[in-house]
Chain A
Amino acid sequence: MKAHIRHIAHKRKGIVTESEKTVAKQSIEIGRATDQDIFLADSGVSYHHARINLLPDGTVSVSSVSRLGFYIEGKLVQNCLIQRNGEILIGVFNIKIEIDAKKDLVDITVEKIAEDIVEVAKERMLPTSLEQTWLSKRSTSWIGFILILVLFLGFPLAEFYDSNAKQVIAEFRLPGDDLWLSGEISSPHRHFGNDCNQCHQQPFVKVRDSACIDCHRKITVHADPDLYDLAELQQTRCATCHKEHNGTSHLIQTAQKLCSDCHGALLTDADSELTRITDFAIDHTEFKVSLMTRSGLSRNDPQAWQRISLDDPAIRHETGLVFPHDVHLDAGGVEGPLGNQVMACKDCHRTDASGNYMIPIAMEPHCQSCHRLEFDPDDLDRELPHSDLPNLRKMLNEYYSLKALRGGITDNDAPDLVTERRRPGKSLTRKEQEVALKWALEKAEFVAEEVVEFRSCNLCHKVERDPSVAAGWNIPEVNTAQSRWLPKGDFDHKSHRNSTCESCHEAGSSTRSEDVLLPKIAVCRECHGGQNSDRLLQSTCIECHDFHQQEQILMEVSHMGSQSNE
């Protein structure tokens, strides 16, 4: 078919333009695609919208290619036949079709419906997308952005920098830097916890040790800074280990890492005398016991102490006593002043008021109730004072002199003068007095020797006769004044009070007083496992050891100097 296509366009200001072309094709294509014969630039038109065909009988068929269809005489249709002429409407285009049967030609006039109808319609149109409504992404974004910055940044900063703002915020209970609280404050710090600046004193600077030491004045360092000049010790801040804002239970670190990070690496340092320790259950040396030596030095003098491993076969505690535990703990009992008595540990070993440590053993409170220092069968209530050997003879002499002068002594070997009872008011002659006092001196000498060497002192002490000393005997110094045996550890009896003594101390089979009856680490390991133990009590280093060593210098002295310029 041949078609003559005319495009009429109404431009602005009433200008009308026309363009014409003649096409000879089987069918004329109409659509929005640019390859179409009738190109309709309108979004209401499909790319391939409709097709015009000249039929053999001289009529024209218009068929819709797209689902949209077209209008003819006001009806929306998919197909139509045009006998001689007709008008169809596609989108905003009016297409007039006239058939010139003689010339076998179809005249097609395409005219865009006057824009103004569409424009008028547009004017009264309401928004058709959310973008055209009052909804706005931009303004809500700005409002939210600014509100949040003001509330969460502006208020707290104002509170920090401006005292007036701080006052207003406090007065009206407005949100301030409490909005920044990153986690629960530990209970001991909560009483000042609402004032962030107690600790956070300078912006963008990590919490300084001075803030901690302000209150914790007596806190000591971990190790002697002169001996261990290590960056890990000197430059580590308090807050590196003591992390606030994690609740109460985590303020003090208990993890093994805290110690093993350094003490596990010590083996690599050839100069270090410290042993490598990483885990109580599998990597911990045998306990070293601190024993006070019998050097005569003061107990405050470090030289007076010796640290020795429980593994060392030569370990002995020189108590200076003869004391077999097995005899005392005999299940059959021991003979005492009140007859046969079965003894228990607690008869001698008592804890101090704290319940943690044992009171050191001494003669008067612990032994003397059985080991009485009586010397005169006629006067069993009378006892000798303990620990006064130099005055022993003098005291006995005084005792027996008085008795001899009074007379009436029941002693077959004594002279009659001493044994006979005297009437009151009868006095001895000078000669008689000399006889009586001579006897008393001999008796005192005899009793002293008997008490010291055969009856009382020798029972517990290693007595040596030594005429060169004033007392006449040497008794070794007794060394039982110790209450802490593992001062580097934090063992206490109180938390173990539900266990029997025998479960840790093998006292019943100990025959010598030199035996050290402290349990070895293996005994502790029966109950205590390492950090990750799944069947024993999980125990980390901090369970027994303190980080801050009390005998060390104050952190205030050591630590703050190195950080003041940080």
Chain B
Amino acid sequence: MHQSVLSFRRSRYLWWCSTLCIAAIVAYWMHEPAMPPNGSTWLGYTLGTVGAVLILWLMWFGIRKRNYRSRMGTVHGWLSAHIYLGLGLITVVTLHTGFQFGWNLHSFTYVLMMLVIASGMVGVYCYLHFPRVMTEDSGESTADSLIRQIQEIDRQALILASEIDPETHDKVIKSIRRSAIGGNAWQLLFARGKTRRIEGLNLAPEQLIQDDPDNTDLRGSTMMFMAGNIASGHLDKSDATRRLSDLLIGQKTVLVKQLRRNLQIQAFMDIWLYFHVPLSFALLAALTAHIISVFFYW
């Protein structure tokens, strides 16, 4: 049975995290150092060590999840622990700082860690939210199947077009070439693409021509060509033309739109990791420098 990563084993790691945080807070509260609380009291060193070990362990998740043969718990369990113990770091490390901040390496390390945690929290949200959206949106269709369906429409369109005349065939080939799927990161994230010109128009082609006959943007498009053919009614093979127009304008437009949204959601689900991972490695570097520096100038 599917179990949310947050409620894994009756939220076992939530309890671990809570215990850790409460222990840290109680210790901080009871601790009465002879100087302002900071990282160099015994409690400061303890919290710092716990924090550093936690960070290394949390980063180990990146290795663990790739190691399919590992028998050290399930990846699902590791992820649950990764999330909760990562959140626990906020308490442990904030207390380690003793609330002393400045323009230095040490606070920089802290800020990096908080950014990593914040990006991770975004990740948890994406991990829980977007799969649901995607199921609601596309059902079982994966991006791959949508692409194949679009390719199939292209294939059939070409077959139909060749039945009409060479000019139509040529137009359809150009149209297929032009309607590239996917794009750069920006286009994926904002569901933009090069085929924008033939999508999102649910109006009947005849009506479009009447509404705006001078629209050069539209005029050059496959759709307009098709619409023109249908409207003129001069072509013998009007049935084939209608079917072609239905394929390219009706079905393909819907599929492309669906695919764009599918890819967009997938991109949303992935984008946070492009912050989380590099920030984590930046944190690892800063943490290394932090630990070396405090003992270098002991």
Query: When each residue 139-156 of chain B gets 1 if its CB lies under 8 Å from chain A and 0 otherwise, what string results?
Result: 111111101110111111
Select the residue from A43, A143, A147, A183 with max chain B CB neighbours within 10 A.
A183
The reply on B278 being an interface residue by CB < 8 A is yes
CB pair B35–A246 under 8 Å, yes or no, is: yes
Given the complex, which residues of B lie within 8 Å of A67, measured CB to CB?
A: 139-140
User: Which A114-152 residues sit within 8 Å CB-CB of chain B?
Assistant: 117-118, 121, 124-137, 140-149, 152
Give the A-B contact count at a CB cut-off of 8 A: 196
The reply on A319 being an interface residue by CB < 8 A is no
CB pair A183–B296 under 8 Å, yes or no, is: no
CB pair A204–B285 under 8 Å, yes or no, is: no
User: Which B257-290 residues sit within 8 Å CB-CB of chain A?
Assistant: 263, 266-267, 270-271, 273-274, 277-282, 284-286, 288-290
Given the complex, which residues of B lie within 8 Å of A204, measured CB to CB?
A: 295-296, 298
B71-79, B101-109, B204-212: which lies at the A interface? B101-109
The reply on B12 being an interface residue by CB < 8 A is no
CB pair B182–A89 under 8 Å, yes or no, is: no
A145's partner among B104, B140, B273, B285 (CB-CB below 8 A) is: B285
A173-181, A329-337, A474-482: which lies at the B interface? A173-181
C-alpha spacing A131/B267, complex, angstroms: 9
C-alpha spacing A273/B28, complex, angstroms: 37
C-alpha spacing A132/B278, complex, angstroms: 17
What would be 22 A-B contacts, judged by CB atoms less than 8 Å apart? A43-B145, A68-B139, A74-B153, A74-B156, A75-B246, A124-B177, A125-B180, A126-B182, A129-B143, A129-B267, A130-B270, A130-B274, A136-B274, A145-B282, A145-B284, A146-B285, A149-B289, A152-B105, A177-B293, A180-B105, A180-B297, A182-B294
CB pair B102–A184 under 8 Å, yes or no, is: yes
C-alpha spacing A136/B270, complex, angstroms: 11
Whole-angstrom distance between the Cβ of B126 and the nearest chain A Cβ: 12
Given the complex, which residues of B lie within 8 Å of A148, measured CB to CB?
A: 282, 285-286, 289
Whole-angstrom distance between the Cβ of A100 and the nearest chain B Cβ: 27
The reply on B170 being an interface residue by CB < 8 A is no
B88-96, B183-191, B228-236: which lies at the A interface? B183-191
Given the complex, which residues of B lie within 8 Å of A519, measured CB to CB?
A: none
Whole-angstrom distance between the Cβ of A226 and the nearest chain B Cβ: 28
Q: Which residues of A are at the interface with B, using a C-beta cutoff of 8 A?
A: 42-46, 66-68, 71, 73-76, 89, 91-92, 113, 117-118, 121, 124-137, 140-149, 152-153, 156-157, 160, 177-184, 196, 200, 203-207, 241, 243, 246-247, 250, 253, 255, 257-258
Given the complex, which residues of A lie within 8 Å of B281, measured CB to CB?
A: 141-142, 144-145
- A146's nearest neighbour on chain B, judged by CB, is B285
> Given A121-B154, A183-B38, A184-B102, are A92 and B184 neighbors across the interface (CB < 8 Å)?
no
C-alpha spacing A147/B281, complex, angstroms: 11
Given the complex, which residues of A lie within 8 Å of B271, measured CB to CB?
A: 130
CB pair B40–A129 under 8 Å, yes or no, is: no
CB pair A152–B183 under 8 Å, yes or no, is: no
- A142's nearest neighbour on chain B, judged by CB, is B281
C-alpha spacing A50/B292, complex, angstroms: 64
CB pair B293–A152 under 8 Å, yes or no, is: yes
Given the complex, which residues of A lie within 8 Å of B164, measured CB to CB?
A: none
Given the complex, which residues of A lie within 8 Å of B149, measured CB to CB?
A: 44
Nearest 10 A/B pairs, CB to CB: A44-B145, A126-B182, A144-B282, A141-B281, A148-B285, A140-B278, A44-B148, A128-B182, A152-B289, A200-B297
C-alpha spacing A134/B188, complex, angstroms: 12
C-alpha spacing A89/B152, complex, angstroms: 9
User: Which B239-268 residues sit within 8 Å CB-CB of chain A?
Assistant: 243, 246-247, 251, 263, 266-267
The reply on B160 being an interface residue by CB < 8 A is yes
C-alpha spacing A466/B167, complex, angstroms: 151
CB pair A127–B34 under 8 Å, yes or no, is: no
C-alpha spacing A44/B143, complex, angstroms: 9
